[in-house]
Amino acid sequence: MPQLDTSTWFTTVLSTTITLFILMQLKISLHNFPQTPSVKSIKLMKTNNPWELKWTKIYSPLSLPLQ
């Protein structure tokens, strides 16, 4: 049974890694990014909730007087 020759693996892996790196750099460099992103002003809408119009108090059962 012949042995597997691994002497070229380092060269193959290194060249593949370099090639992928170069391809990714080219892909990213050709992508058009916005030069100056614009700031969006977000206005918070004030909603009228029924519980904000009147005063309410929540009683805890432990704070109620004993009966």
Distance from C-alpha of 4 to C-alpha of 14, rounded to nearest angstrom: 19
Q: What is the pTM of this model?
A: 0.45
Q: What is the pLDDT of residue 38?
A: 76
Mean pLDDT for the stretch of residues 33-37? 76
Query: pLDDT tier at 13 (50, 70, 90 boundaries)?
Result: very high
Is the pLDDT confidence value at 49 over 90? no
